[in-house]
Structure formats: structure tokens, C-alpha cells
Structure 1
């Protein structure tokens, strides 16, 4: 009986290691092409998966999605987009986002557009309207927002519902 339990535990540990190894194999790594200066993505085998065509890109993913930019980095002309692990646009540059950032809540993206903050999801659906001058990160399932410096702070849940 003791050897059976040991065998089951060993099998579980091996399967966990294989699952971890496989998930890492699917991860992509940003790289900068020395000729064009553009950023693309390679897999763990150093195979190019997404050809270099971006000004910059995140070195980590959120559920297999990557933030990429086009335009001069850190300039007013820089635009942000989201791609999947094959380089397909999930949220295109044409949306005009000045910034997109991943959140601890893996379902939301904090964005800036026309100098206003808001939250969207990966389908580009607006969750928190993009109209705030101040917008907190998600803290204990709540998001604090102010339309301007003199306005009252209001709160939303992660589904976009206004709460008190």
C-alpha cells in the first residue's frame, strides 16, 4: 500500500513538471532585430513566431497576450495594441490607445485614450468608461475614479458596476 501511494505521488509530481514544462514552451520572448531595430517574438526553441514589426513589446504575457507598440517610443505618437501568441491583433493600433497595461485582475486592461483613463477587456469592450483623469488599479475588487481634480471620487467593481 505504501509503495502504491509513493507511485501515485511520484506520477503526480512528474505530470506537474511536464505540465509546467509545456506551459513554458508556449511562452514567447520578445527580441529586437539587429537589422530593422523592430521587436518580434520567438519561442523557447529560438524560432521566430511573430516577425519583428513593432517599436517595442512586453517581455511577458497575460494569458498568452502581449502588449506591443508602434511609433516612436515614449512619444505622443506611440500607439499600443494587443496581439496573441501568433501575432494576430486582438486589439489593433487603430483604436488609438496611448497606453495599455495589464492588471493583476487578468481580465481587465487599463487604457489611456485622449489623455483619459478607463478599463477595457480583451474584446475591447469598455468596462469602466474612458473618461477619467484619475483611475486606480483594482484593489480588493474595487476601482476608484475621478473625472477631474475637483470631482468626487466614485467606485466601480471589476464588472464596471458603480458601487458606493
Structure 2
């Protein structure tokens, strides 16, 4: 008996294999393209500790207003208080701003110690959890993002020292 080399079932099998290989190659090319085009930026989530701005901000916070060249203003405590692994920063994103902001705390070597979530206009963050803050000198970084595109709208860096809260 002689077996047919080009039987119909053989041709269907080869066609299915070719389609499968073409599909796998297409998926691989799509993934490689996505990875090559991705810039590594993942938008931070909204900070769960964010509060609505209190209408009467304390006089101490009023004195720590920063006007940023990019056209927005924030409040930030320049000498934060550290107690029970919480750093009081009183970061305020003014209602008139058109940016979302995020706070990052670094030690003097530049290592990240804490990062907040996003604060929308009209919100404030009083305290942020910072574990094992041993150095007195720290750097507060306020990162701003355009609201619709989430492109960078500038960074404010403040080098300061924290102080210990006085006991009542």
C-alpha cells in the first residue's frame, strides 16, 4: 500500500499550523511594540488620606505658601513635625490649581522614604507615614501632573529638617 503524500487532511493540518505560527508571531510583535513604546510611568492613585481643604487654614499654614513658576500655588510645612512615625507636612493643593500633586520624601542620600498618593485641587494632606526616619535632614519633593494628560508640570524640592513634637 502506498500512502498519499498530499492528502487533504495533511494540507488542512499544515494550514492550521501556519495560521497558529502567524498568530503567535503577531502577538509577540504586539507585545514587543507595547514594551518598546512604554515609558515606565504608572499614574499614582488618589491618596486615601486626602481631605477637603478647611476654609480657615491656620495662620502657620498661610505663611508657608509657595508660588510655583508653572502657574500654581501650594502650601507646604517647611519644618515638619515627626511623631509616632507620622510626619506632619500640611500639604495643600489650592482649589485654583489645574494640577494634581504628589509628595515624595527622601533622606539626605536621596533614598525614597515615603510617597503619597495624588491630591486633587482643593485637597490637603496633613500627615504621611514615614517608617524609620533616622536622619534629621530630609528632602520634600512635590511632583505636579497636568490633570488631563498627566504630563509633568514641575517639581518643587525643599531640603529641611524635621523636629520632634513637644509633649503636652
- Give me the TM-score of the superposition, normalised by structure 1: 0.25
* Structure number with higher relative contact order (C-alpha < 8 Å, ≥ 6 residues apart): 2
Give the TM-score taking structure 2 as reference length: 0.25
